[in-house]
Amino acid sequence: MNTNGKITSNELTTKITEHLEDLVRATDAARVSEEMLRYLEACSRFHSFSLNNIFLILLAKPDATQVAGFQA
């Protein structure tokens, strides 16, 4: 920070670079994560369901292939 308490452009650039590197690491880890792959497979099977419902399906029956709504 400079004398008036503001962040300099170099400090801001450094912070942005650090956050981007964190994002790259997290993205790389998610790409090879078994949990993420299971979630993405469930999303492809149950694309008409909400995020929360997909999580509930995975918790209740991870190997489900078909799911009916409450009214069905």
List the end-to-end C-alpha distance of the chain, in Å, as a whole number: 61
Q: What is the pLDDT of residues 21-60, one digit of tens each?
A: 999 999 888 888 888 888 889 999 998 899 899 999 999 9
Round the average pLDDT of the chain to a whole number and report it.
88
Q: What is the pLDDT of residues 1-24, one digit of tens each?
A: 666 778 888 999 999 999 999 999
Reduced to 3 states, what is the DSSP secondary structure of residue 72? coil
Total residue count of the chain as it appears in this document: 72
pLDDT of residue 35: 86
Residue 16 or residue 65, greater confidence = 16
